[in-house]
Structure 1
């Protein structure tokens, strides 16, 4: 068995391996080739140090990675393998990449083999993320609040994008796994993604004061023709005033105008705010769960 570091040209082979695993567990792939390419080229990921491919001859039999979130002590990891030898080798490389950090791995509840592999290496469940979806069967009803204006972002409006970033930082300060980002770090990560679109940023202002943000992307367009709410945040001082529901409905309406079949988002089931109740109240339903297992390295 040969192990080497990945290159962007390996994205299709990695996709086939992960899609095979997903199909065995879920009945279908849960990613696209573009998702893999984005992972290999995102700013926080160094392919020459953070990723490994295992080959038997010309056949890819394993893929593992460990990606640090900025300069923080949080690391996301994953291991997918076609066989015990590759699995063992990749787990060892992934867990040896960093020390003095907390490692997180996402595991589907149906994936008992991956759960056993993580548990055997000292990981334990920490939280669960739910994937929520709403289908757009007609034009959503208009949504307004007195004293609230909603502005749409663009790559030319840095002032509005900085306001969006500032809201995100304040709104998510206490959330699971959150890592603070400067505006430049946030913008670099967003613009490195093939699903990125500054035109899907919405900022709500209450009597002119930035209060809530939605960051939408195209992550689920190619496979499900759905919009994706990557970020929905409301500054603490403005919570409980209906802004979250307003922003969701504005995002739904924008996705409907784009011809999307629905809108998808993820929510931490252990969220410090009652986000899950909000999403259920606007007609979203859970379609998938991803458990986060954690270990201090």
Structure 2
């Protein structure tokens, strides 16, 4: 059975680029190590795409950002000197550790415009890894395992599920997958992970006689292998893993310690977190308050 259904709430990232925020939610801050989950679209962006909707350089600590696109293209630049185009089906996994900054821009789509859609997730890391050196890993779409069985097909983005493991480097037991279901196909959530959720990207699904629609996240109670049935073609993101304990979140900072977040605020304000080497002409200032 599920123990919660989370509805998407609209959130403006600044500059008019709107996302659908799912996690964190007041009744459920995390699912396994996943502490943040935004749907970036679908948006039809007319040409030329204005720079004001780009995500300007901003800082992170104590988490990994996980970017996965369904459509469109983004350009990632960070303070490690990495510049990487993100394409549909590929995985960008940036670990902030003790501190990193990055930007995400629409450079590859700017002149022609186009459709943009994807998921930005944050994964908290164990306390022992919160102060690791920052790192960045990119996995092309053909590097991630594909699966197909009985009307269910998909890509295992990270972690272990459905009898396979992703090559993506993670810090704790988790799973994250992009799953397509044909009409009437059924999918069981992996039983080996204690915390699990399914976000409906498109279509309708049924669970225990109830129907659920795109934009809803079903969070399941521990135990068993909850089953979802597609009512027509459907697409889901399934995620979860081992819980890591309480985490504090303020703006772009995640930590097991409130005082560490205060330090990160001071570091960004004082310019102690470097800006991306190839994108240092502007940045998002520290907000006075966080909604």
Larger radius of gyration: 1
TM, length-normalised to structure 1: 0.27
Q: Which has the higher strand share?
A: 2
TM-score of the pair, normalised by structure 2: 0.27
Larger % of helix: which? 1
